[in-house]
Amino acid sequence: MTAQRDQGYVHEVFRSIQGEGLYVGAMQIFARLSGCSFCCNYCDTRGAALRTEECALRGIDGDTMIANPVDPAELAAFVASLAGATPGIHSLSVTGGEPLEQPDFLEVFLVHVRAAGLPVYLETNGLLEGPAARIAPLSDVVSMDIKLPSLCGGTDTFDIYSKVLPIFGARELFCKVVVAEGMKYEEFTGAADLLASYDRMVPMVIQPVTPGCGCEAAGAALIERCCIDAARRLVKVRVIPQCHTVMGLR
Ligand code: SF4
């Protein structure tokens, strides 16, 4: 059967506690879309890197598997029911894989989610300018990675970021930079310069790579150096490791 244009490939939907970035600790519903064309050495969601045949709806009473691609209205109804059964939900985190690789689906899905009263928190690698322009107006908070080429297959991404930052800058935006031993340090300062050249007030979250994720863990000296050099350029800098792994959360 041919997929309709607005249907989407989704790996799973579940509720959990945000483990990264400025909203760490917030209860959210997560929609993890499947498929990502990029290649980060430290990717911790490889199970969602390829489009999967089924989507797991992880509800209060257990998991239900449905066939991909999924209908955006049906998925939004499940998200709304899970949010309704959970006090204190902050937002829907749209994550991946890379969500912006499915803009047709997101344009419909997020309209339904917002109509149900749930804010949208978009987690993206920010590497697709056209989809970014389409999805930014449907996003309340954007967590955008700035990928360092030496940790991500050597691809130089900074030209794209200079175009995408103003698009997402119209929303509540923060940028996350994963750091690890062995990265080219000038790429990190280049990322801070890039962000500062757009707006010094945009927060930067420095995320030391999680040990065991394919890169050598950043030592204390590197983390401190990154923090100081970023703070020379930007007003709001935070160092926040992945916390859900520590807590054993999904
Ligand atoms: S952009 Fe995200 S999903 Fe894609 S490879 Fe990198 S970390 Fe994994």
Please state the separation of Cα 232 from the chain's center in Å: 26
pLDDT of residue 202: 98
Q: What is the DSSP string of 63-131?
A: EEEEESSBPHHHHHHHHHHHHHTSTT--EEEEESS-GGG-HHHHHHHHHHHHHTT--EEEEE----HHH
Give the CATH number of domain 10-247; options: 2.40.50.140, 1.10.8.60, 3.40.50.970, 3.20.20.70: 3.20.20.70
Distance CA 117, CA 38 (A): 32
Laid out side by side, the sheet with 54-59 consists of: 62-67, 54-59, 10-17, 27-33, 91-95, 120-124, 141-145, 172-179, 204-208, 237-239
> Ligand 1 centroid to 87 CA: how many Å?
30
Distance CA 153, CA 188 (A): 15
pLDDT of residue 64: 98
pLDDT of residue 118: 98
Question: Residue 125: CB within 6 Å of ligand 1?
Answer: yes
Question: Residue 38: CB within 6 Å of ligand 1?
Answer: yes
Q: Which residues contact 160 (CB under 8 A, 6 or more apart)?
A: 126, 127, 129
Question: Residue 207: CB within 6 Å of ligand 1?
Answer: no
Please state the separation of Cα 4 from the chain's center in Å: 25
Question: Residue 101: CB within 6 Å of ligand 1?
Answer: no
pLDDT of residue 3: 67
pLDDT of residue 212: 78
Question: Residue 50: CB within 6 Å of ligand 1?
Answer: no
User: pLDDT tens track of the chain, all 250 residues?
Assistant: 556 889 999 999 999 999 999 999 999 999 999 999 998 999 988 888 889 899 999 999 999 999 999 999 999 999 999 999 999 999 999 999 999 999 999 999 999 999 999 999 999 999 999 999 999 999 999 999 999 999 998 888 999 999 999 999 999 999 999 999 999 999 999 999 999 999 999 999 999 999 877 789 999 999 999 999 999 999 999 999 998 888 778 8
Strand pairing partners for 142?
122, 173
Nearest CA to ligand 1 atom 8: 43
Residues composing the chain: 250
Give the pair of three-digit tokens for residue 124: 């993206």
pTM of the model: 0.95
3-state secondary structure of 163: helix
Please state the separation of Cα 59 from the chain's center in Å: 22
Nearest CA to ligand 1 atom 7: 43
pLDDT digits over 178-191, tens only? 999 999 999 999 99
Distance CA 75, CA 113 (A): 9
Distance CA 188, CA 185 (A): 5
Domain locations along the chain: 10-247
pLDDT digits over 65-90, tens only? 999 999 999 999 999 999 999 999 99
Question: Residue 43: CB within 6 Å of ligand 1?
Answer: yes
Question: Residue 40: CB within 6 Å of ligand 1?
Answer: yes
Distance CA 234, CA 112 (A): 36
Furthest-apart CA atoms within the chain: distance in Å: 55
> Ligand 1 centroid to 137 CA: how many Å?
23
